A and B are shown apart, each in its own frame.
Chain A
Amino acid sequence: MFQPLRELEGGIKLSLNVAARAPRLRVEPIFESFLRQVYFTGVTAATGVMLRACALGAIIIAVMMDMLDADVELAVKILLLLVFREIGPLAAAVVIILRTGTAVSAEMAMMRISGQTRALRYLGIDLYDYLVLPRVAGITLATAALTLYVQFLAVLGGLVLSPFLIEASFTELTDRLFDLFTPVDFYYSVVKSLLFGFAIAACCCWHGLNPPDLTQNAVPKAVTRAVTQSAMLVLLINAVFAYLVFGILFFGLIKANV
């Protein structure tokens, strides 16, 4: 009954612990582990999403212009709004959860079950320092980088591939894009993706270090919990963010009109 409360408390403690230990990233093995995490999360995931991200932009523009009968300006505007504010961060978060979240939670649960975390403690190595901090910092940074990469490719794909699907030239689309792009879109997606990355990493680390029991069967259970709760956290953050940014403004406008 108290399990969700315990998980919430554990997650908050872990997050505060990581934030307090950020300066420890300068220690050599921790920094190496951080770089390794950035590489596995950001760099190796980049090739897999390339084609899908390019297709995403083209599909958004084609659907908007075909189904909603939008003009070039509206199509590009929707592309920017969708890609930068919603789909970009969410797509990157899904990739991170499926690729890295599963790996991190399984690896840490295995380390816990096989007594490797105990060995680290006996060597005087703090688990938060050596295991949690580099993973959380690495995944957070890599999520932001992967989000920007997906957004860039989706917009580029939309601009390059759309002229083959609709009656609009590349130059026309590009001109509209530069007119409509605002730095707010960029800041919005960076902040959101950093929050997504932090939440995914903290959730997966916590479940990895706290498997339901210490048998081999606990590994898939820990991974399942980590993945489902990470996904729920991402959706929750997305909803809260959307409410704060669009919701307050939106309701404000309604009240003003009434």
Chain B
Amino acid sequence: MTDLAVRYRRKTTRHEVQAAVPRGAVTRVHVPDEDAKAHLVTALLKARTEPGEELELFGESAAELERPRRKQLLARVGAVSPIVGLITNLNAWENIALPAAYHGSPPLEQVATLTHQVLAAFGAEPRDFLARIPDELGMLERKMATFVRSLVATPELMVFDALEDGLSSAECRYVARFETEYRARAPQGTVLYVDTREDS
């Protein structure tokens, strides 16, 4: 039996969404509409389900989780999603460093090194990039900042929610490299792409 990172099921009167994501694999889940996508991503980010939903995260049922255990599981999940956007009154660096500074781990020096490495890999000039607030960043740059912020915690499960939405075809080639960057830092990690498009 395959070891699953995520098992999800949601049944409504209109449709049924099911997802089984093996650990360490790259999985693409196509859902019928935005509402279904928001439910799936929200369930993963909260490790919590609503009526009609079932979720198992790293083999544990979300319905039976105690608060501390839920917190531990959530620390293993990262996401690049419009649901977890940037904070508009903080610049890019403050946004990237905020979770690490708040939780006290990893050290900010480590976050700075990782940020510079990733930005360099994408050809961005760190000093200029990191000083700008989200309103001064383009869509691709905002996704990059969100990606780096997620990468800092080296999550076991990385969720890419509608990664290519709002991007040009040239920019889509950039974000396609997010997976490579993630793999370089978490070789055993699981990648989940969630999309509403049927052709992707």
Real binding pair: yes
Indicate if B25 sits at the interface (CB-CB under 8 A).
no
Residues of chain B from 12 to 53 with CB closer than 8 A to chain A in the complex: 45-46
Would you call B89 and A125 a contact (CB within 8 A)?
no
Contact with A along B180-199 (1 / 0, CB 8 A): 00000000000000000000
Would you call A122 and B101 a contact (CB within 8 A)?
no
Contact with B along A94-131 (1 / 0, CB 8 A): 00000000000001001100111011101111000110
What is the total number of residues of chain B having a CB less than 8 Å from a CB of chain A?
Answer: 20
Indicate if A28 sits at the interface (CB-CB under 8 A).
yes
Indicate if A258 sits at the interface (CB-CB under 8 A).
no
With A122-B46, A124-B74, A124-B75 given, is the CB distance from A116 to B103 under 8 Å? no
Would you call B102 and A29 a contact (CB within 8 A)?
yes
Indicate if B63 sits at the interface (CB-CB under 8 A).
no
CB distance from B43 to the nearest CB of A (A): 12
In Å, the complex CA distance between A8 and B3 comes to 50
Indicate if A67 sits at the interface (CB-CB under 8 A).
no
Would you call A115 and B83 a contact (CB within 8 A)?
yes
Indicate if A27 sits at the interface (CB-CB under 8 A).
yes
Indicate if B139 sits at the interface (CB-CB under 8 A).
no
Would you call A119 and B85 a contact (CB within 8 A)?
yes
Residues of chain A from 115 to 149 with CB closer than 8 A to chain B in the complex: 115-116, 118-120, 122-125, 129-130
Indicate if B84 sits at the interface (CB-CB under 8 A).
yes
Indicate if B117 sits at the interface (CB-CB under 8 A).
no
In Å, the complex CA distance between A114 and B89 comes to 12
CB distance from A118 to the nearest CB of B (A): 7
Would you call B101 and A107 a contact (CB within 8 A)?
no
Residues of A within 8 A of B45 (CB): 122
From B46, B74, B83, B103, give the contact of A119 (CB < 8 A).
B83
In Å, the complex CA distance between A22 and B173 comes to 47
In Å, the complex CA distance between A172 and B12 comes to 84
CB distance from A160 to the nearest CB of B (A): 40
Indicate if B88 sits at the interface (CB-CB under 8 A).
yes
Would you call A116 and B87 a contact (CB within 8 A)?
yes
Would you call A27 and B102 a contact (CB within 8 A)?
yes
From B71, B88, B98, give the contact of A123 (CB < 8 A).
B98
Indicate if B99 sits at the interface (CB-CB under 8 A).
yes
Residues of chain B from 58 to 87 with CB closer than 8 A to chain A in the complex: 71, 74-75, 79, 83-87
Interface residues of A (CB under 8 A from B): 27-30, 107, 110-111, 114-116, 118-120, 122-125, 129-130
Interface residues of B (CB under 8 A from A): 45-46, 71, 74-75, 79, 83-89, 98-99, 101-104, 149
Top 8 nearest A-B pairs (CB, nearest first) are A29-B101, A122-B45, A123-B99, A119-B84, A122-B84, A28-B101, A125-B102, A29-B102
